[in-house]
Every structure is written in C-alpha cells, then in structure tokens.
Amino acid sequence: MEVEQIRRIYEAMDANGFSNIELELGEDNKIRIQLDVPPVVTYTGEALPVFADEANGPVRTQVEIRSDKVGFFSFADRQLKVGDRIKKGEILGSIKGISFQDRVKCSLDGVIASVEVEPGLIVDYGRLLFVVNID
C-alpha cells in the first residue's frame, strides 16, 4: 500500500466519522489505522432518517459499541439493561487490564437495544458490548 492510498483512507475515515479501521490483506498481512483525535460529527438539527420496512415497521439507526482493549469488563454507576436511556459522553463501563483501566463511553444520545456483556467478563479487542438505538 502506498502512502497516497493511506492518506486517502485517513481522509475518508475523518470525513465519514470513523475513528479506526482494520484491513486484512491476506492471511499474514493486516493493517490498522486509528485517528489520533476522534472525528467530530456535527448535528444539523435535522431528524435522523428512519427507514420503513413494510413487514416490521420503522427501522431505527443503531450504533454498536465495541471493546478497543483486552481486559475485564465492569459497569460504571449502574448495570445497564435493555431500554435504559443513555446520554452522549456517559460512562457505560470500564475495561481493566494489567496496566490500564479504559472507560467505555457512548458517543451519542440513545436507548440501549441490547447488552452483550456481563460484569467480570474478559473481553477481547473488537468484542460487541452494547447496541444503542440513536435518538
């Protein structure tokens, strides 16, 4: 991969609100790009799109919250459950490793659609923790 290609990927990530990307280029070749500063998504005041599914009704926009570390998971102030309302920046839990403790935050306001983790569980990099319906 050439430097110009990497620069274009970086710019596309920044423009579209992605903070990291991992590519597999064959069995033994992997590359992971992570922005130093998470991109800022500007809310224009317009409603988020809701798509209609004739059989199941409206489909909500969802965000997956995944682990970016390996360690033991614990909830923050309260153990979250489906239906709990969360706010942007709220600390949902933490992942504790040998030499670190990393907080898990939500990037948008929403409602917990599913909880995929329990306290004390060892989580791997990329493990799904929560699914959030965006307001």
Report yes or no on 76 lying in a domain: yes
- Tell me if 46 is assigned to some domain: no
DSSP string, 15-57: HHT--EEEEE-SSS-EEEEE-SSPPPPPP-SSPPP-EEETTTE
pLDDT tens-digit readout, 96-114:
988 889 999 888 889 999 9
Q: How far apart are CA 117 and CA 72, in angstroms?
A: 10
| pLDDT, greater one: 53 or 117 | 117
Residue 44 lies in a domain: no
Q: Note the pLDDT of residue 116.
A: 92
In this prediction, residue 84 carries a pLDDT of 93
* Number of domains within the chain: 2
Residue 110 lies in a domain: yes
pLDDT tens per residue, range 60-82 = 678 888 888 889 999 988 899 99
Beta strands 101-105; 51-53: pairing state: unpaired
In a shared domain, residues 34 and 68: no
Enter the pTM of the model. 0.55
How far is Cα 38 from Cα 11, in angstroms, rounded to an integer? Answer: 13
Q: What is the CATH number of the domain that holds 62?
A: 2.40.50.100
In this structure, are residues 113 and 132 in contact, taking their beta carbons and an 8 Å threshold? yes
**Domain coverage including residue 35:** 1-39
Residues 67 and 5 in one domain: no
